[in-house]
Amino acid sequence: MNPFVFSQARDVDAALPLLSADGARPVAGGTNLLDLMKEGVMTPSQLVDINPLEHAGLDVIEEHEGGLRLGALARNATTAYHDLVRSRYPLLSAAILAGASPQLRNMATNGGNLLQRTRCVYFYDIGTPCNKREPGTGCPAKNGINRQLAILGTSEKCIATHPSDMCVALRALDATVHVKSNQGERAIPFAGFHRLPGDTPEIDTNLQPGELITHITLPDADRFAEHSAYVKVRDRLSYAFALVSVAAALDLDGGTIRAARIALGGVAHKPWRVEAAEAALVGKTAGDAAFEAAADRILEGARGYGQNAFKLTLAKNAIVQALTTAMRGTEFAKRGTE
């Protein structure tokens, strides 16, 4: 790890000036940042430990304006097992528990989960070119090791995926990210939080320098609570990043779809959601025909890069499976069997 100056912030107002310094980064769980520092991928000159902000209320999970407010410093495990999350947002609970390991979920925070970097092997290996790590050096992934990488929203510069499971559910649930800086506070709709790589793959999110995530809010989603499923396909049964994951939620009137939510992980630089495909499901009979049509719509424009071309078929099947599982009900999804 590179040498750096360490400081701790006791409250948000003390943290913000520290975070506005050049080369300063906040550290909370540390599970991704410290790993990237060990690899030399990230080399901050200052780390500001924001864990003490737990005592300033940044770890609170509570009902808020009919929905939910998740403190940025609440741990992933605490969030997934929280009674309000389990009962009202089972999709979020399932997505979080599909990610990482129990130890990592005990450490990782909700804010930090949003700021995870891609696990593309070229990004992690400082001996190779990577436009995300060193802009302008090139992208060996396009014609290289790309089994894990993106099939949607890619650019000539980058085909990285965002690795989070939690964020896939947050996208499906229309979350909002709340941030604070020396300039004040602002709210970022989840759709606009993460970016596509375009010509600037080095920029993962629209978080600005000096901004600190304070909390995430979720609107009421009770109508989806009975019919939610998170399906994650990976190379081993547990503790692996998604090849494809799907967060699906349905609001059903008998067999007819009143509303649908579908977001994908493991396929793009951000959680992938096509709201037109959801709108087209409204009024349709829940079942294979409607679900396959939705999958085709969501995957319009998808392309493979060799090793990851199997994801085109896998993603379609995973969407149909997730919607079918959601249709059969959240309790079925939890059991995983009849």
Partner 1 sequence: MDLYKQYPIRLRINEQDRDFEVESWVTLLDLLRERAGLTGTKKGCDHGQCGACTVLVDGKRVNACLTLAVMQNGHDVTTIEGMAKGEALHPLQQAFIDQDAFQCGYCTPGQICSAAGLIAEGQAKTVDDVRELMSGNLCRCGAYPQIRQAVCKVMGIEEGKAGAASGADGFTTGPVLA
- Which residues are at the interface with partner 1 (CB under 8 A)? 1-6, 27, 29-31, 34-35, 37-38, 45-47, 49, 51, 77, 80-81, 86, 90, 93-94, 97-98, 100-104, 106-107, 229-232, 237-239, 321-322, 325, 333-337
Q: Minimum Å distance from CB 169 to partner 1?
A: 11
Q: Minimum Å distance from CB 198 to partner 1?
A: 30
Token pair for 149: 């990488």
Q: Minimum Å distance from CB 11 to partner 1?
A: 17
Could you count the other beta carbons within 10 Å of the beta carbon of residue 280? 16
Residue whose CB is less far from partner 1, 214 or 325: 325
Packing angle, helices 288-298 and 311-328, rounded to 10: 140
Instruction: Classify each residue of 199-235 as buried b or exposed e, where b means 16 or more C-beta atoms within 10 Å of its C-beta.
Output: eebeebbebeebbbbbbbbbeebeebbebbbbbbbbe
Residue whose CB is less far from partner 1, 171 or 232: 232
Q: Minimum Å distance from CB 234 to partner 1?
A: 9
Q: Minimum Å distance from CB 303 to partner 1?
A: 27
Distance between CA atoms of residues 15 and 19, nearest Å: 6
- 206 contacts: CB under 8 Å, gap ≥ 6: 188, 192, 193, 194, 195
Distance between CA atoms of residues 275 and 93, nearest Å: 22
Distance between CA atoms of residues 22 and 209, nearest Å: 9
Burial zone of 66 (CB within 10 Å; 0-12 exposed, 13-18 middle, 19+ buried): exposed
Q: Minimum Å distance from CB 70 to partner 1?
A: 16
Residue whose CB is less far from partner 1, 17 or 102: 102
Residue whose CB is less far from partner 1, 162 or 232: 232
Residue whose CB is less far from partner 1, 103 or 285: 103
Q: Is 279 helix (H, G, I), strand (E, B) or coil?
A: helix
Could you count the other beta carbons within 10 Å of the beta carbon of residue 2? 10
Burial zone of 301 (CB within 10 Å; 0-12 exposed, 13-18 middle, 19+ buried): exposed
Residue whose CB is less far from partner 1, 26 or 201: 26
Alpha helices by DSSP H, the chain: 12-19, 33-38, 76-81, 83-88, 90-97, 102-107, 110-114, 121-124, 166-172, 275-281, 288-298, 311-328, 330-335
Token pair for 231: 């399906």
Residue whose CB is less far from partner 1, 51 or 307: 51
Q: Minimum Å distance from CB 185 to partner 1?
A: 26
Residue whose CB is less far from partner 1, 15 or 333: 333
Token pair for 276: 């037109």
Q: Minimum Å distance from CB 290 to partner 1?
A: 19
Residue whose CB is less far from partner 1, 48 or 139: 48
DSSP assignment letter at 286: S
Distance between CA atoms of residues 252 and 285, nearest Å: 9
Q: Minimum Å distance from CB 142 to partner 1?
A: 26
